[in-house]
Structure 1
Amino acid sequence: MTDAQKLTHVDAAGAAHMVDVSGKDVSARRAVAAGRLDTTAEVVALLRGEGVPKGDALAVARLAGIMGAKRTPEIIPLCHPIGLHGVSVDLTITDTGVDIVATTKTADRTGVEMEALTAVATAGLALVDMVKAIDPAASIEAVRVLRKEGGKTGLWERP
Structure 2
Amino acid sequence: MPEHIKKKLLEDIKQLEHELAHELPAEIKKAAALGDLSENAEYHMAKQRQEFVNARLGQLKKRMAELSLVNLANIPHDRVAFGSTVEVFDTSKDEKIEYKLVTSEESDVSKGLISTTSPIGRALIGKQVGDTATVVTPSGNRELEVLKLTTIHDEAAAAAESAEK
TM-score of the aligned structures, taking structure 2 as reference length? 0.24
Name the one with the larger strand percent.
1
TM-score of the aligned structures, taking structure 1 as reference length? 0.25
Q: Considering Cα pairs closer than 8 Å and 6+ residues apart, tell me whether 1 or 2 has the greater RCO.
A: 1
Name the one with the larger helix percent.
2
